[in-house]
Amino acid sequence: MNARSIAAVLLLATGMASAAQTLETAYRTNGQSVQSAFDSVRAVLQDSSAVIQRGRKEIAYGTVMSADGYILTKASEIGDASDLSIIVGKKAYPEPQLISTDPTWDVALLKIPAEGLTPVRLLLDQAEPPRGTWVVANGATSRSLRRVQVGIIAANAREIPHAGGPVLGVSFEEKDKKLVVTEVAEKSGSATAGVTKDDVLLLLDGDEITGTEGLAELIGEYHVGDEVTLTIERAGEKKELKVELKGRSDVFGEEVTRNDMMSGAFSKRRSGFPKVIQHDIIANASSIGGPVLNLDGGCLGMNIARATRCETFAIPASELKSIAERLMSQAK
């Protein structure tokens, strides 16, 4: 069935809904009749996406980027990639190799010992998909069958800033109008730079740090990823340390709102992406990482976060190509 026919089936289902107020199960987006309209796209998902498991639990999807087994997925969902197995098509591959990660995009490159896989067909010769474009991604799955989820592009492509902005990643207390470090967050730029407990914070890029509010004002002038010179006092000696300002969500995790707690399993990381396309396919944290296809099976991008009850973010195809080429070149 081609894209025009699929659209006709969906319009038919929409019309029936208007007449009867409710749809019979067969005509819902996860019903048998609607699912059958996407058989050709489902076949692409079967061959060009991966199911990533830890034990028997599905923890993420992946996007096949090369015939010889390079697969992109969401880095924060797989961790150190230990105890994983991957299913592509109907074949399982134990113990994939974690080749590299890209913290900026929260993407990991995995490698399985395969030949003759079918990589996704990235759509690079068209502008960003306009709002209202039909999209298809992985739904519930088994080794023998990939079901589809259907939705539409819901917003223009855009940057998603880091939630909470940049941070040093240290806790401190104020003593005699000076800030003394009491704790350094493990994932912070301060930890990497060597800031330790009991260091006294003196200067940030040459500007005097005057209390908690003064430090917040200074940090607020920078962006996530900027490197600053932090002058500290340690055991009576002054030291200058180069510190990368990381996103609050990267260091301390995403803030969970009351609405989040009531609405579903969102991704561990759902902000701080340079550019995403947004669609409304229903997903959860463990169904992120697979390709987002149009009705002809072309790849518009890769799902990277379930953000809210009705928002899913995907890395656009052109950016995905660049990420894949960079990470794969590092592996060779």
Secondary structure of 119-145 as H, E, C letters: CCCECCCCCCCCCCCEEEEEEEECCCC
With contact defined as beta carbons under 8 Å apart, do 269 and 250 qualify? yes
State the average pLDDT over residues 40-46. Answer: 94
Structure tokens at 23: 């749809």
Residue 280 has pLDDT above 70, yes or no: yes
Range scoring the smallest mean pLDDT among 29-38, 153-162, 294-303? 29-38
The residues near 129 (Cβ < 8 Å, ≥ 6 apart) are 135, 153, 277, 294, 300
What's residue 135's pLDDT? 96
- In percent, the amount of the chain with pLDDT more than 90 equals 66
Reported confidence tier of residue 144, pLDDT bands at 50, 70, 90: confident
With contact defined as beta carbons under 8 Å apart, do 141 and 147 qualify? yes
Structure tokens at 157: 């492509």
Q: What number of residues does the chain have?
A: 332
State the average pLDDT over residues 140-168. Answer: 87
State the average pLDDT over residues 215-242. Answer: 94
Residue 229 has pLDDT above 80, yes or no: yes
Range scoring the smallest mean pLDDT among 6-15, 19-28, 30-39, 201-210? 6-15
The residues near 190 (Cβ < 8 Å, ≥ 6 apart) are 168, 169, 170, 184, 230, 241, 243
Summary count for the chain: helices (H), strands (E): 9, 21
With contact defined as beta carbons under 8 Å apart, do 92 and 126 qualify? no
State the average pLDDT over residues 238-262. Answer: 84
Q: Which residue has the higher pLDDT, 264 or 139?
A: 139
Q: Which residue has the higher pLDDT, 12 or 326?
A: 326
The Cα–Cα gap between 326 and 304 comes to 18
The pTM of this model reads 0.82
Reported confidence tier of residue 248, pLDDT bands at 50, 70, 90: confident
Q: Which residue has the higher pLDDT, 187 or 243?
A: 243
